[in-house]
Structure 1
Amino acid sequence: MKDYRIEEATSEDLNVVERGLVEYNLSKVPLIQEKAFIPVNLVVRDSEGQIVAGVDSRLYCWNCCYVDMLWVKEENRKCGYGNILLNEVERVAKEKGAYLIHLDTFDFQAKDFYLKHGYEIFGVLEDCPKGHNRYYLKKNL
């Protein structure tokens, strides 16, 4: 084995790792959308301009969409902002050619919200964190 050292990665280092992984993946399954990653990031602002909800998602390589985060400020929950954001992400993803959307959520977060929107559970990581479950959900668009 060659000499090596392990260091904390910088953001530039992680860009190298990401490019390497994307390059490898694309050598196995060709890119079928215009770019490897297309962000679909949205926020909802109140009348004072404060963010009350937001979503961080992206279409990736093969016309799939991953929702990384969807958040609604606690006092604004049950106002429909989560519905609006999720519906808009799905609309944009479908418009850009996505056929599948997926995400994960914890049992103390929004599992029932996603199930209500037609998502199905395809995996569960039990006891992560201790005493809770992490759910992996998907929906065909």
Structure 2
Amino acid sequence: MTIEMTVIEGGDEDFADTVEFMIDSVAEALGKPFDPEPFHLKATDADGELAGGLVAHKVQQWLFIKLLGIAEGQRGKGIGRSLLARAEDFARQEGLVGVYLDTFEFQAPRFYKGLGYTECGRLPAIAGAPQRIWFAKTFEAVPADGAAGS
């Protein structure tokens, strides 16, 4: 069998959607459909200006935070912490098992560790490429009757 491979310069959204469909259809056949649901949080200041935001989606009973950004003049005011706390509240309300995200070594690994996130993966720093670090926070399981365990 001969297979030809072609680089698609600049990308192709239809092609990406087709590949995603191939992956999703297998997961769905296994009873684990991806069906990501977006969750976005927008933080604005008293003047209505964008102070920060969080872009995430629910998938496979997790909330994946893809982006968490704070405007330069707004950093250090607790906005990132508040956005993350609100996202965690949302995940708990939705019955998700936890939150996961990634960051680079020069960004915010100490921030996430300080908020109870545990490192769960890391790409090494090689040839000037910075380490990329994955973090997760899982939620304590709550029994079906809603009572917390002892």
Bin the TM-score by the shorter chain.
Answer: 0.7 to 0.9
Distance 2:126 2:88 in 1: 28
Q: Which residue of structure 2 lines up, in the alignment, with residue 127 of structure 1?
A: 125
TM-score normalised by structure 2 residue count: 0.81
**Any stretches of 5+ residues in structure 2 without a counterpart?**
140-150
What do residues 30-57 of structure 1 show as CA deviations (whole Å, max 9, x unaligned)? 24xxx71111111111222221100111
Contact 1:128 1:134 in 2 (8 A): no
Q: Output aligned runs, 1:39-118, within 5 Å.
A: 39-60=38-59, 62-118=60-116
Higher-strand-fraction structure: 1
Residues 1-33 of structure 1 deviation map (CA, whole Å, 9 limit, x = unaligned):
2566443432222222222211112223424xx
Identify the match of residue 15 of structure 2 among 1, 13, 19.
13
Bigger relative contact order, structure 1 or 2 (CA pairs below 8 A, ≥6 apart): 1
Measure, in 2, the Cα distance between the counterparts of 1:29 and 1:59.
16
Aligned residues: 137
RMSD: 2.0
Percent identical pairs in the alignment equals 24
Supply the AA of the counterpart residue of 1:82: G
> Cα gap change, 1:129/1:68 in structure 2, threshold over 3 Å: closer, same or farther?
farther
Paired residue secondary structure (1:90): helix
Q: Assess, with a 3 A threshold, how the Cα gap between structure 1 residues 57 and 70 changes in structure 2: closer, same or farther.
A: same
